[in-house]
Amino acid sequence: MANIKEGNYAFSKINLKNGVSQFSNQIQPQIELTLAFNPSVKMTTESKKTLGSKKTPKTTIWVSKYRPLSLDYVTRKYFAFFARMDEELFGRRRHKARFINLIKHIGVIEHLDTNPHIHASIHIPDMDLIPKFLKLGKKLWETKIQESGEFNANEYRGAVWDNYIVKDIYTTAHTNLVLFGGK
């Protein structure tokens, strides 16, 4: 045991957040991505029939359809999305080609009980594939992977985004909320 340093290896909230934030920055992302599992609160107009009247007045209400989801469910959907995107962008035999870099990503799951969504930093190895990723990603997420979900992407803002995605990581127990992958 001569090569192992002795000491306290406890994590702190600040070290954990800084580590995840720095890791997000190190993959050199180009895209900030939010994958929501439930629709956000939306304004809808409903018609109510009034008795004895031919008129139907319209009432505006806010509808929220959030439902709690399991960590396993959210994790599977996230990785299924990136597996399908890698296949769409790089082909079925993408893992056989050693020279191809796949999509690098780091995501953090938030609010499983109230509004499940994932904030992710995305690096696509070929800049020319970014428009294709955005177009196919939105369609894939909202029609195949998570039909009730929303796909929101923006240009990467650096440390602002890196610090934002880790805002709900408080203890080492939250490290299972951090998802990453890529080649």
User: Which domains, and CATH codes, for the chain?
Assistant: 14-39+67-181 (3.30.70)
Per-10-residue mean pLDDT for the chain, 183 residues long?
Answer: 51 71 89 85 51 56 65 95 92 72 92 89 94 96 90 94 85 79 82
pLDDT value for 9:
47
Residues near 165 by Cβ (< 8 Å), separated by ≥ 6? 20, 21, 24, 106, 107, 108, 119, 120, 121
SS3 content of the chain, % helix, strand, coil (to 5): 35, 25, 40
Distances in whole angstroms, Cα of residue 107 to Cα of each of 37, 43, 119, 150, 166: 14, 29, 5, 15, 9
How many Cα atoms sit within 13 Å of 17 on the Cβ side?
A: 15
